[in-house]
């Protein structure tokens, strides 16, 4: 089966990187709200907008790397026959299976990446808000808004939910990898 470079670019880079861009942007917005009580997003096509997108992407990449290192969303496994050579496994997948199977597989990998990056971003944002509450109570006691507490709790709960969801998706992908590996042998 042949995929065009546009299809491969979308499924392997653009779709996955959008989740990293979003998770970084989410964290930046939470940080802005936590420190200044408002979110100031750049408007229009400007140097500020480009800078925001680049920084969002880099922060999202950091979350993506961090969650893999922390191993809190499960370990991604490929069939034993490939001796941890994911590239060969993916090449055999493309040779063996039709477009519908590959799209289903890619969709779950994308959903796992979204759950991992956005979940960790939200969780870290919630923890940052807790740290700010504690530091403000120690150094300068002030009453924070109900919205602040609502955003903090919802960020924490959403982050925890997404990380557990990423773990479930990782388990499902590992099951798919095993089944697809058996199909490749046949």
The token duo for 88 is 């060969």
From the number of C-beta atoms within 10 Å of its C-beta (0-12, 13-18, 19+), residue 97 rates as middle
pLDDT tens digit sequence for 43-87: 888 898 888 888 999 998 888 888 777 777 677 788 888 877 888
CB atoms closer than 10 angstroms to residue 156? 18
pLDDT digits (tens, 9 = 90+) for 108-138: 888 898 898 999 999 999 999 999 888 877 7
Is a pLDDT exceeding 80 seen at residue 141? no
- Which pLDDT does position 130 carry in this prediction? 92
| Residue 143 pLDDT greater than 80, yes or no | no
Residue 171's pLDDT is what?
Answer: 92
Question: Taking a C-beta distance cutoff of 8 angstroms, is the pair 53, 22 a contact?
Answer: no
Q: What pLDDT was estimated at residue 13?
A: 66
Instruction: Report pTM.
Output: 0.80
The total of other beta-carbon atoms located within 10 Å of residue 62's CB is 17
Cβ neighbours for 82, distance < 8 A, ≥ 6 positions apart: 88, 89, 181
Percent of residues, the chain, with pLDDT higher than 70: 92
């Amino acid at each position: 089966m042949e995929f065009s470079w546009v299809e491969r670019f979308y499924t392997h880079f653009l779709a996955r990187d959008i989740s990293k861009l979003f998770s970084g942007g989410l964290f930046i917005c939470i940080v802005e709200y936590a420190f200044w009580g408002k979110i100031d997003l750049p408007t229009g096509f400007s140097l500020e907008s480009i800078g925001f997108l680049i920084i969002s992407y880099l922060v999202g990449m950091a979350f993506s790397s961090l969650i893999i290192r922390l191993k809190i969303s499960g370990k991604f496994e490929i069939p034993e026959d490939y001796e941890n050579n994911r590239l060969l496994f993916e090449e055999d997948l493309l040779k063996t299976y039709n477009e519908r199977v590959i799209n289903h597989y890619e969709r779950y990998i994308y959903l796992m990446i979204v759950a991992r990056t956005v979940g960790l971003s939200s969780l870290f944002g919630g923890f940052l808000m807790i740290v700010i509450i504690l530091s403000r109570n120690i150094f300068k006691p002030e009453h924070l808004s109900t919205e602040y507490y609502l955003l903090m709790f919802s960020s924490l709960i959403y982050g925890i939910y997404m990380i557990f969801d990423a773990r479930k998706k990782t388990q499902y992908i590992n099951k798919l990898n095993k089944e697809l590996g058996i199909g490749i042998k046949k």
